[in-house]
Amino acid sequence: MSSSPIADISNASPLETAPAVRSTDGSRATLLICLPSLGIDGLQTMQERVVATLPGQSVVLASPDVLPDNESSTEHLRLVGYPAGPPHVSWTLVAGDFLTAADLAREHNASAIMLLGAEAASLLPAGLHALATCILNQRVDLALPRYKTGPHDALVSSALLYPLTNALFGVGTHLPLPLDAAFSLRMAERLAAAARRLGNAAQSMPLVWPAAEASIASYVVREIEVGERTLPHPGDTDLNSLLAEVAGSLFTDIEAKAPFWQRSRSSISALQTSEPVRLGSETEELAEVRAMAESFRSAYLNLQEIWSLVLPPQSLLALKKLSLAPPESFLMPADLWARVVYDFVLAYHLRTINRGHLLGALTPLYLAWVTSHLRRSAGDATLSSQHVEETASAFSNEKPYVVARWRWPDRFNP
C-alpha cells in the first residue's frame, strides 16, 4: 500500500441499524443523491427507499425523470430534476456524470454526494445506508462499493483494473471503475476538474478514475461492502472494444500520473499461490477451459509478431510454453500476467505500435488469465477471491519492473 493517507482504506460492512446521518461537525448535512433515468416507477421506488433508509437526513434527490413543474419538497427531502446529457453507454459512470454531480452539489449546497449508476434500484437499502453513513459521518473523501459477486463476475476489474490501481496508486478497491460512488464536496470538485480536462468529449463516453484522483491528492478512500447489486451489461459492445476502451482509458491515466506512482512506495508481500483445481471431465468449466486454451493457441500463432514488438524474450518464451500446454494444465502464472500488462502499459506510453492494434493484441492474453482463473476457482467464490488476490499481489511485487522499464526503456528493449 502507499505511504499516503489513503492507506486508511478498509472494507467496511453495511450497518445493521439506520441512525440519523449527521455531518462530522454534528449539524444536519445535506446529501445529494444523483440518479440515472429510472422511469417514474423506478424513481418512486428510490424515493421511498431513501426516506426509509435515511430517516431525518436532509437529502436532495436529483433525477432526469423529474420535470421542473414536478419538483417537490418535504421536511427532509427535495426532489429536483436536471437535464439528461447526451446518451452514452450506461453500464458505468462517465466523465459527464461527475460534471453534473459537481454542478448540482454547488447549486443545492450539498456537503456530500452519492452518484448512482444504471440499475440503481437494485442497490440494497443496507448498501445505500452504508455509503451515505461513510461519506457523511466519517472523514472520508471517496467511498466506493464492493458488491457481492459471483466467481465469473467483474473479471476485467479482477484481472486488470484492481491489480493496477492497487499496485500503482495504493488503493485496494476492487471496482476502480465504479457503478456507484459517494464522495465529499472537495472530491466532487476534483473529479469535475479531471472531467473538464477531457474537453468537449467529457459529456459523452470518456472515463474518469476516482481512486487514482483521490490517491494523488492524498484523500481518504474507503471500500464499502454493500451486498448484491445487478451489474449492468455493456450491451452490444464486444470484448475487444470493451477492453480497448477501458484499458486504453486506464493506461492514459497511468501515463498522465507517472511522476506520482513512480515515487510512491507500495508494500511488497510474498505471493501466496494455491494449487489449481483439477476439473472433472464432465464439468462445464473444463469445456470452457478447453475452448479458451485452443483459442489462445490460435492467437499465439497469429499474434506472436506483434507481441514480439512489446514483450521481452523471457515473456515470449513463457507464452509459447503456455500455447503448447494441454487444457488440463493450462495456467498463466500471476507474475507473468503482471509483467505482460506492465509491458503493454509501457508500449502504450511509447506508442511502440498503433494503440488500437496494441490493445487488440491484449485481449487474447487477458482471456488466458481468465482461463487460468477458471482452473483456479472452478466456480468456487472463495477460490475465485483467492486467485484475484494472488494476481493483485503479483502486480505489487512486479511494480519495480515497470518503474525500471519506464525510466530506462532502452535498456529493456525486447
- Nearest CA-CA partner of 277 in 389, 386, 385, 383: 383
The answer to whether residue 6 scores a pLDDT higher than 50 is: no
Whether 260 is in a domain gets the answer no
| Residue type at 208 in one-letter notation | V
Higher pLDDT, 269 or 352: 352
Question: 172 and 304 in one domain?
Answer: no
Whether 300 is in a domain gets the answer yes
- Nearest CA-CA partner of 12 in 129, 156, 125: 129
CATH number of the domain to which 108 belongs: 3.90.550
Question: 209 and 120 in one domain?
Answer: yes
Q: DSSP letter at 408?
A: -
Question: 153 and 43 in one domain?
Answer: yes
Whether 256 is in a domain gets the answer no
**CA-to-CA dists, residue 21 to 54, 101, 136, 208, angstroms:** 7, 20, 7, 28
Question: 205 and 108 in one domain?
Answer: yes
Question: 344 and 214 in one domain?
Answer: no
214-242 tens-digit pLDDT: 999 999 999 999 999 998 887 667 899 99
Order of strands across the sheet that contains 221-227: 11-12, 221-227, 142-147, 180-184, 112-116, 30-34, 58-63, 77-81, 72-73
Question: 54 and 158 in one domain?
Answer: yes
49-75 tens-digit pLDDT: 999 999 989 999 999 999 888 888 888
Residue linked to cell 483494473: 161
239-261 tens-digit pLDDT: 999 999 999 999 999 999 999 99
Cβ count within 10 A of residue 266: 19
288-318 tens-digit pLDDT: 888 889 999 999 999 999 999 999 999 999 9
Question: 200 and 53 in one domain?
Answer: yes
Whether 243 is in a domain gets the answer no
The answer to whether residue 353 scores a pLDDT higher than 50 is: yes
315-348 tens-digit pLDDT: 999 999 999 998 888 999 999 999 999 999 999 9
Whether 120 is in a domain gets the answer yes
Whether 381 is in a domain gets the answer yes
Number of domains present in the structure of the chain:
2
SS3 116: strand
Question: 197 and 50 in one domain?
Answer: yes
- Supply the pLDDT for residue 88: 54
C-alpha cell at 317: 518464451
- Nearest CA-CA partner of 322 in 364, 378, 263, 379: 364
Query: What percent of the chain has pLDDT above 70?
Result: 83
Is 189 exposed, middle or buried, given 0-12, 13-18 or 19+ CB atoms closer than 10 A? middle
Question: 38 and 137 in one domain?
Answer: yes
* Beta carbons of 32 and 39 less than 8 angstroms apart: no
CA angle 156, 162, 163 (to 5 degrees): 105
183-208 tens-digit pLDDT: 999 999 999 999 998 876 545 568 99
108-156 tens-digit pLDDT: 999 999 999 999 999 999 999 999 999 998 889 999 999 998 888 899 9
Domain that holds residue 321: 268-412
Whether 248 is in a domain gets the answer no
Question: What is the pLDDT confidence band of residue 34, given thresholds at 50, 70 and 90?
Answer: very high
Whether 263 is in a domain gets the answer no
**CA-to-CA dists, residue 334 to 160, 169, 312, angstroms:** 11, 19, 17
Question: 152 and 93 in one domain?
Answer: yes
- Supply the pLDDT for residue 64: 93
- Supply the pLDDT for residue 152: 86
Question: 194 and 108 in one domain?
Answer: yes
Q: What mean pLDDT comes out for the span 91-106?
A: 92
* Beta carbons of 62 and 82 less than 8 angstroms apart: yes
- Supply the pLDDT for residue 16: 35
What's the whole-number average pLDDT of the chain? Answer: 86
